[in-house]
Amino acid sequence: MAPRLATECPHCRAPGFGHINVERGAPCSFYGSATQTIAGDIHGCGRCSYQTRTPRNHARTDPKWCDYCNS
């Protein structure tokens, strides 16, 4: 918690900017359809509505996690 409190919001400069959610939908490496695998992290401010999205390091997800491939 201390690192988050030490991080200022880039928009309003209030302390407490950090991870608030994830974005699902990384594409399947076989079909390209969206999966439930995490595609990115959402960081936001507790004071204002400013948010940023940071993509995860993987570009595509293994088909074993794809709802379409496994239906």
Query: Residue holding tokens 């509505």?
Result: 49
Residues of the chain with pLDDT under 50: none
Residue 12 lies in a domain: yes
Does residue 70 belong to any structural domain of this protein?
no
Supply the pLDDT for residue 58: 74
| pLDDT attached to residue 6 | 87
Q: Are the C-beta atoms of 32 and 63 separated by less than 8 Å?
A: no
Query: Residue 41 in contact with residue 53, Cβ under 8 Å?
Result: yes
List the domain range (segments joined by +) for residue 17.
Answer: 2-65
71 within some domain: no
Into how many domains does the chain fold? 1
pLDDT of residue 59: 76
